[in-house]
Amino acid sequence: MARPASTTQQPAEHEHEHVRLLREREPPIKVAGFLRPRPAATLMLLDRTGPEPTVLMGRRNPAVKFMPGKFVFPGGRIEPGDRRMSVAGALPEPVADKMNKLRGSRVPDMARALALAAIRETFEETGLLLGTKEYGAPADPPAGAWTDFAARGVYPDLESVSFVARAITPPGRARRFDACFLVMETSAIVDQAENVIGPDSELVELVRVPLQEAMQLDLPLITLVVLRELEKRLAAGMGHHLPTPLFRERHRKWVREEL
């Protein structure tokens, strides 16, 4: 099995501001059991064509049990079809290398599956289709959401995906995810299914918000932290070579490492 990607960690005397925020607002929970975090991916849709960058966010249905009423980015865990769906363009090599090395070599093409999971979840939760219509409809798509996606004549395209952050839910939570936070530009949106968002859906509204305003919404704490990381990454040029932060608990303390 391949070795994990190397990481660098901030010394305690130079605690990162985002680690301080997590420590103060997400204290450790003492647990007896162990729930393994599930691989997942979240997609942030970014628009940089205006005077200031904006992001698309959805508000979760207040009636759901998990994060009711919070503003979030679409995303979720990998499903079997995500490993088999055809694509028009591959992930940028630096992105694929970084994401694949996170979990060793036991699961081939983990990065590809994670990126496709994020695109599929975005389609399921918002109706937005990201990709290209230049090649017609994909042949033999996996059953389920990918069949509906392909029926609209769209191939998912991974060439513009950026990898901005990774976060592992600490022990003691009812649900645990090992989540990659990905970014695509809104220019990748080529179609939208109707009647996906509404009072009986997982998301009750979808809003396009300037980045600074997005940070003031009712957000899960890790979403706020990742938005702050996105802001810094934008200032640095959004290059794939930039370090990708990993947030997790080690020895019951929050740490920020760089991948």
Dig out the tokens for 237 from the structure.
């040029």
Residue 118 sits in a domain whose CATH number is 3.90.79.10
DSSP character string of 84-105 = T---SBPPPHHHHHHHHHTTTT
Residue 3 lies in a domain: no
Dihedral in degrees, nearest 10, Cα atoms 249, 254, 258, 259: 10
Domain residues for the domain of 142 are 8-258
Q: Which long-range contacts (CB under 8 A, 24 or more apart) does 233-236 make?
A: 233/164, 234/48, 234/53
Q: What are phi and psi of 87, to 5 degrees?
A: -130, 160
**202 occurs within a structural domain:** yes
The residue type found at 196 is V
> What's the rounded Cα separation, in Å, for the pair 89 and 110?
16
- Stated pTM of the model: 0.89
Domain-located, residue 49:
yes
Over residues 93-108, mean pLDDT: 74
Round the average pLDDT of the chain to a whole number and report it. 90
The mean pLDDT of 227-237, rounded to a whole number, is 97
d(CA 150, CA 244): 32
* Tokens describing residue 60: 């979760």
Give CA–CA dist 171/155, Å, rounded.
37
The alpha helices in the chain, defined as continuous H runs, are 17-25, 93-101, 110-126, 145-151, 211-214, 221-235
The verdict on residue 2 lying in a domain is no
In a domain? residue 17 = yes
Give the phi and the psi of residue 123 in degrees, each rounded to 5.
-65, -45
Give the count of domains, the chain.
1
Q: Is the pLDDT of residue 210 over 60?
A: yes
Question: Counting every residue, how long is the chain?
Answer: 259
pLDDT at residue 4 tops 70: no
Rounded Cα distance between 194 and 191, Å, is 10
**Of the given ranges (74-78, 171-175, 213-217), which has the lowest mean pLDDT?**
171-175
Instruction: Determine the Cα–Cα distance for residues 105 and 26; give it in Å rounded to an integer.
Output: 32
| Mean pLDDT, residues 9-24 | 74
CA atoms within 13 A on the CB side of 126: 28
114 pLDDT more than 50? yes
Asked whether the beta carbons of 18 and 248 are under 8 A apart, the reply is no
* H runs (alpha helix) in 92-220: 93-101, 110-126, 145-151, 211-214
Whether 1 is covered by a domain: the verdict is no
Residue 12 confidence (pLDDT) above 60:
no
181-206 confidence digits (pLDDT tens): 999 999 999 999 999 999 999 999 99
Q: What is the pLDDT of residue 7?
A: 54
Q: Decide if 100 is inside a domain.
A: yes
Give the pLDDT of residue 233.
97
Are the C-beta atoms of 123 and 129 separated by less than 8 Å?
yes
Q: 48: how many CB neighbours lie within 10 A of its CB? A: 14
Q: How far apart, in Å, are the Cα atoms of 237 and each of 120, 160, 165, 215?
A: 27, 14, 15, 20
Per the listing, tokens 């090992």 go with: 178
Q: State the pLDDT at residue 220.
A: 93
